[in-house]
Amino acid sequence: MDRTVNYSEKIPNNVSLGEDRALQRALEHWQPEFLNWWRDMGPDGSLNHDVYLRTAVSVERDGWAQFGYVKMPEYRWGIFLNPVQPGNTIRFGDHKGQPVWQDVPGEHRANLRRIIVTQGDTEPASVEQQRHLGLTCPSLYDLRNLFQVNVEEGRHLWAMVYLLHRHFGRDGREEAEALLTRRSGDADNPRILGAFNEKTPDWLSLFMFTYFTDRDGKFQLSALAESGFEPLARTTQFMLTEEAHHMFVGESGVSRTIQRTCQVMNEIRSDDPAKIRAAGAIDLETIQRYLNFHYSVTVDLFGADQSSNAAAFYSSGLKGRFEEGKRTDDHVLKGANYRLLHVVDGKLVEYEVPMLNALNEVLRDDYIKDSVGGVERWNKVIEKAALPFRLKVPHKAFHRKIGALAEVRVSPDGRLISEAEWNANQDKWLPTSEDRAFVSSLMGRVVAPGKFASWIAPPLTGINRQPADFEYVRFN
């Protein structure tokens, strides 16, 4: 397989698209529909901006990206799969040890299509959620990062649409069209998953979203990167290289917000939220409430605690676990158990279920371990400023809408509480409309090179080692 992307074709690719005329025609028919969607639902008012973006030019580990000014509608969205590993075998489930599939096995067709469509739907959804944020960017650097994330989510949509067109015939093409017609937050035709219908109204939400919700993407993609259906494994492996930057945008964005808040707190010698707000920064309590919201909404994305679908996806070799290859069990999991939480006598207690049925929870728990790391790094920023406040991820049963825990009220520290206690405290635990109004009041547009909004510190280094006052976006 050619590792270099062919840019001489209308649709850049490393899958020899030119040798399959029918597929090429089908995708060339979808391409203008995608561009129409981008014009309608992509970043607001950005069509003529020249943006300093990276574009994938190869799937080699080093040197896969090239930087340069691009108008986003001219971004080279394309199809890039990691190279075939000859002799690969399925690593888990009932087909373990058999050769990987290059085509969709008939009996798994419906499940695979569902997996691909569900993943594909999140990609344009997040672009829609973020489309107004460019108008309130805190700096050119941040604006560029937002646009980078947006074009790569667009490319992730391409990655899934390629699989639908190449492997699922007519219904695949229909699904590819439907991916451009659903709309985030639309009452009649919403996106498939809950968190992708929430608003991303301000930049603190964006940073929380890219830290927490793009990390859900990382875990879903990592599980699909193990798939016995090799084209899906190879395409998600490459998507993961792009995803890393999205999470960096989130982690560093929240970190810089906290850094600025701490600086203000030390300047005014106060931890009073009202005074911090008056000084143009976001108080740590509000940051904690945003964290609680985005964390809990994202934890729901992993689905029901017990799921026969999750068992079927695993046993049939379609979707593995995070880092399947590093685990030392039998990779079949029949007879293995896993601990879930439920309520007995007014308390949250653990109980055991067959692990195959609990694979959503396994992935959720792996996600939780991974997301805690960044929160600890944020706390280091506060610690360095010699302030006593610490951020904390809430208990995984807090503010759940999906699974057995959706039926109970749980405090951030994991106590089962009454409806009355919930009502009395939820304004302390989740962003209030007043918090959101305050945060959005800070969202002025800062676009002078090297300048930053009052509520956020500058980054440590520029993108692609550019200087602090680099003109990441040129407005036309």
The residues binding Fe ion (CB under 5 A) are 123, 153, 156, 214, 217, 243, 246
From the list 2, 13, 214, 223, the residue with the least C-alpha distance to 122 is 214
Least Å from the CB of residue 244 to Fe ion = 9
From the list 94, 89, 104, the residue with the least C-alpha distance to 229 is 104
Query: Quick check: helix, strand or coil at residue 313?
Result: helix
Q: Which is nearer to Fe ion, 241 or 426 (CB)?
A: 241
Least Å from the CB of residue 145 to Fe ion = 12
Query: Quick check: helix, strand or coil at residue 175?
Result: helix
Least Å from the CB of residue 353 to Fe ion = 31
Least Å from the CB of residue 210 to Fe ion = 7
Name the strand (E) or helix (H) holding 362: helix 359-384
Residue with tokens 């439920």: 342
Residue type, 44: D
SS (H, E, C) 226-259: CCCEHHHHHHHHHHHHHHHHHHHHHHHHHHHHHH
> Measured between alpha carbons, how far is residue 14 from residues 9, 79, 410 in Å?
11, 7, 49
Least Å from the CB of residue 227 to Fe ion = 17
Query: Quick check: helix, strand or coil at residue 159?
Result: helix
Cβ atoms < 10 Å from Cβ of 429: 18
Q: Which is nearer to Fe ion, 242 or 283 (CB)?
A: 242
Q: Which is nearer to Fe ion, 123 or 283 (CB)?
A: 123
Q: Which is nearer to Fe ion, 245 or 289 (CB)?
A: 245
Q: Which is nearer to Fe ion, 126 or 315 (CB)?
A: 126
Q: Which is nearer to Fe ion, 41 or 385 (CB)?
A: 41
Rounded-to-integer distance, Cα 85 and Cα 94, Å: 21
Q: How far is CA 232 from the centre of its chain?
A: 18
Cβ atoms < 10 Å from Cβ of 51: 23
Least Å from the CB of residue 123 to Fe ion = 5
Least Å from the CB of residue 241 to Fe ion = 11
Q: Which is nearer to Fe ion, 246 or 294 (CB)?
A: 246
Q: Which is nearer to Fe ion, 217 or 320 (CB)?
A: 217
Least Å from the CB of residue 298 to Fe ion = 12
From the list 37, 38, 18, the residue with the least C-alpha distance to 28 is 18
